[in-house]
Structures are given as C-alpha cells and as structure tokens.
Amino acid sequence: MAVSDHVDLPTFMEGVKKRNPNQPEFVQAVQEVAEDIYEFIQDKEEYHAQQILRRIAEPDRVVSFRVCWEDDAGNIRVQRGYRVQNNNAIGPYKGGIRFHPSVNESVLKFLAFEQTFKNALTGLPMGGGKGGSNFNPKGKSVREIMRFCQSFMTELYRHIGADVDVPAGDIGVGGREIGFMFGQYKRITNQFTGVLTGKGLEYGGSLIRPEATGYGAVYFLANMLATKGEDLVGKSAVISGSGNVATHAAEKIVQLGGKVLTLSDSGGFVHDPDGFDQEKIDWVKTHKTHRRGRIQDYVEAFPKATFHEGKTPWGVPCDVALPCATQNELLGEDARTLVANGCKALAEGANMPTDLEGVHVFKAAKLLYAPGKASNAGGVAVSGLEMSQNSERRAWKEEELQQMLKDIMFGIHQSCLTWGDQGGGYVDYVKGANIAGFKKVADAMLAFGVV
Ligand code: NDP
C-alpha cells in the first residue's frame, strides 16, 4: 500500500477527537506528538501498515473504580479512582499517582500517553501509565489521608505489581501517601516487593528520588545552555509551583550559581527580587509540604518579596524559565511575553505546562525549549533505579545515583540532538524527544506483531 493511501494528520486527529469526546487534554497531547511523528514516518511504511501511532494513542486499558472513605466527622465520602495503563511494550507500566480535584480520565490519559515516550527516553525498561483520584488532600487531616490511601489501594492492588505496573507519586502524592499505600499493599498481599517507587529510605526507597525531577530539569537546562557555550552562573530564573518539582529545581539553580526570582501556587506567585536562597527554599518546603500552607505567607516571613494574587509569574523578566506546577499553566500570550522579555531557555518541570499555542510560539522564536517528557524525566529515571535496587535487594550510594541521574539527563539531551537538530544552530527539542521516544516503543511493538 502506498503511503499516500494512509490518512493524513487532520483526518487522524479527527478520529482521535471522535473516539475521545470531552477529553481535551488527551487530544492536545496526542496532537503535539502526532505533528512530529507524522513527518518522521511519512517514508516509513511499516509504522503506517502496523498502525503504530494509532495503537500507542489507545491505552492498553483504563481502570476506573469507586473509592469510599470515612471523614473525621463520620461522613461517608465517595471518590473516583483510576489507573491508566497506556503501553508496556518496553517494560512494566510506570507512572505517578495524582490526587487533585481536577483529575479525570482525560488528564490521566494524557499523562499516561506522555509517560510512555518519557520513560522510553530514559533508556530504562519502563512502559507508560498514570493513575489518581479526584480526592482533594487540601484541608484533610493525616488520618483522613491515610484512610483514603488505604481505600484507594484496596482496589488498586489487583491491577499493579513489581513486574506489572509500578506507580509513584505526583501532584498531591508525596512520601507520606506512598507510605500509606505501600503499607496497605503489603497488608493485603503479604508481599514485600518493589510495587511502588518514591518509598521511604527505611523500606526500599532510593536516595535522591525526591530531588530527581527538579534537579534533572535543571541539568537538562544546563545541557541546552551548553550548546550555546553558556551556563547558569548569574542567570535569573522564573519558576512556577512550590511543590516537589519546583523547590528542587530552585535548589539546583541556586547550587549552579543562578538566581531564582519567583515561586507560585494555585493562589498566585511570589516575586523575591533578592532571590530565593537555600534558607528561603527550605522555608517554602516546610511551609508548603509539612504545614500545607499557602505561598502568599512568604511575604510575611520575607517582607521584601511581593505577592501577586491569581497571577502566573511569566511576566517577570528572566534569562531562563521553569514551569513546575501543572498542565496548561503557560499560554500563548505568556510565551510571547517571555520571548519579548529576552528569555533564552525554558525547561518544563511539569507535564505539558505549555499549551499548543505556546509551543508554537517557542518553536517560531527558536528558543531553547525542552518539553516535559525530556526535561522532567529525571524523576521517573530515579524511580527506575529504585526498581533496580529493589530487585537487587540493595541500596546504591548517593554519589552513584547523582552521577547516574546526570548521565541519564545527558543521554536524553543527546537523543533530542540526534532527532531534533534542524541545522543552523537550532534544535527542535520537542521533535527530538517525540521521535526518539516513539521510535523505541514503536520498534518494540513491531517485534511483537499485532497484539
Ligand atoms: P506537588 O503536589 O508537590 O506540587 C504541585 C504544585 O503545583 C503546588 O505548588 C500547587 O499549588 C501547584 N498547582 C497545582 N495545581 C495548580 C493549578 N491548577 N494552578 C496553579 N498551580 C497549581 O506536585 P509535584 O511538584 O510533584 O508536580 C508538579 C508537576 O510536575 C506536575 O505537572 C507533575 O505531573 C510533574 N511531575 C512530577 C514528578 C515528580 O517526580 N513529582 C515527575 C515528573 C513530572 P497548590 O499547593 O496551591 O495546589
């Protein structure tokens, strides 16, 4: 069959939209990947004939379930839980669990789809999955969170396993929640296996897992700058978010000689013209993670800073930017502002924080722009290393892990250069990441035949 007989990109996307009604985030993620993959496979008949892209964009399965729990006042509460197992062509499904009121099937399908390419980019044997619930941990007591996690795992346990599907944390799910879920898994199955990553160090967790996503994103940023003979020393950075990824990205920027000007949460952003040093970052970590506080309280502790309610930080002039909060937090207009203000490089810590219009603005401006599937892969990479340590029943040293993380981020950057170099000194990192991730998964799928 001639290539010209195959459906074109608009027709393919029409089909995706029709099959996934009311799932805008999923359609957006597929569109972003398909734009690059269509060009790549135009002269590669077997990918067409075997319908590889169509198959990757259809999750292996989506499990949806009821999660009942009792709050402290004795009320029965009902939430919806999910696990999306997108693709396990190159290894067990792997991807985080998100607890946030915005969680729905579309959001988790987009995350599981993205995760498939990201995990392939790390070079480790991991397929793509994602899960979560519309449970809102904000304002809940520790006991309520524990009861919810236990109830969630009481259903999830039958769908996961160390060689089947290995979840980790994501928004709203940190070490504490992983501990509650692991405890419940162990109680139900009477098995101590590496079924979750992001565990505590006492029970099979890996050093530097909490730091890995933020640190990795900054390593990736440094790799991009190095292609222009530059580094982070003296560079100003604008960061969104104030959770796990944002605070560790801020920490690494400071360690590498940069100056962090902003952090944010869903209430707005804080601008500290003196920069966030380690002491201030530690304050944010404690305040946001342990006290579950709001970022606006920062200005009381550090009065030179200002709080901008309901705003995102993209209007603050900077050399580099790291969106590290959530999807679609940086729109086309924000992208134009960043470019106009002289931003040189942007690495996504969050998943799909830039909308499609913003991606097109960055590409047109030939900015050093790294999509999350490349630049935030450090977290899942160290999760993969946690799985290896669990299988070996040993724990590697911090220096070994730090070096492995750096090497993996360097390797992902190289893959992006291989497939994304457009000549004239411009690298399209989105295209590079999409093609490198796709090719690995696609070639494994070709080997399996039609399954
Ligand atoms: P956390 O829960 O630790 O922090 C999330 C941060 O984002 C908080 O500051 C939160 O503010 C803010 N946020 C959440 N929703 C919104 C919103 N709608 N508008 C503005 N701000 C918002 O999550 P992580 O740091 O772990 O995750 C952040 C991003 O990084 C996500 O996209 C996640 O998928 C991605 N990621 C995380 C990895 C990890 O290892 N943890 C790995 C790879 C990617 P508030 O407190 O007000 O809710």
Q: How many CB atoms lie within 10 A of CB 268?
A: 16
Closest residue by Cα to atom 48, ligand 1, is: 266
**Which structural domains are found in the chain, ordered by start?**
3-51 (no CATH), 61-193 (3.40.50.10860), 210-370 (3.40.50.720)
Q: Give CA angle at 401 (385, 226), nearest 5°.
A: 110
**For residue 40, which of 364, 440, 370 has the smallest C-alpha distance?**
440
Is any atom of ligand 1 closer than 6 Å to the C-beta of 378? Answer: no
Hey, whose CA ends up nearest to atom 43 of ligand 1? Answer: 376
Beta carbon of 170 within 6 Å of any ligand 1 atom: yes
What is the pairing mode between strands 306-309 and 268-271?
Answer: antiparallel
Residues 6+ apart with CB under 8 A from 340: none
Residue 29's nearest CA partner among 371, 287, 415 is: 371
Per-residue pLDDT of the chain (451 residues; tens, 9 = 90+): 444 457 899 999 999 999 999 999 999 999 999 999 999 999 999 999 999 999 999 999 999 999 999 999 999 999 999 999 999 999 999 999 999 999 999 999 999 999 999 999 999 999 999 999 999 999 999 999 999 999 999 999 999 999 999 999 999 999 999 999 999 999 999 999 999 999 999 999 999 999 999 999 999 999 999 999 999 999 999 999 999 999 999 999 999 999 999 999 999 999 999 999 999 999 999 999 877 899 999 999 999 999 999 999 999 999 999 999 999 999 999 999 999 999 999 999 999 999 999 999 999 999 999 999 999 999 999 999 999 999 999 999 999 999 999 999 999 999 999 999 999 999 999 999 999 999 999 999 999 999 9
In ligand 1, the atom with minimum distance to the C-alpha of 327 is 32
Encode burial over 341-351: b for 16+ CB neighbours within 10 A, e otherwise.
eebbbbbbbbb
- Specify the ligand 1 atom closest to the Cα of 168: 40
Radius of gyration of the chain (CA): 21
Task: Just list the catalytic residues.
Answer: 130
The residue whose C-alpha atom lies closest to atom 4 belonging to ligand 1 is 243
Give the mutation target among 130, 171, 291 for probing the ligand 1 site: most ligand atoms within 8 A of CB.
171
Site to probe by mutation for ligand 1, drawn from 326, 355, 380, 405 as the one with most ligand atoms within 8 Å of Cβ, is 326
Calculate how far, in angstroms, residue 412's C-alpha sits from the geometric centre of ligand 1: 23
d(CA 233, CA 237) in angstroms, rounded, equals 11
* Pairing relationship of beta strands 236-240 and 165-168 according to DSSP bridges: unpaired
Atom 40, ligand 1: which residue's CA is nearest?
A: 379
Establish whether residue 171 lines the binding site of ligand 1, counting it when its CB lies within 6 angstroms of any ligand atom: yes
Global confidence as pTM:
0.96
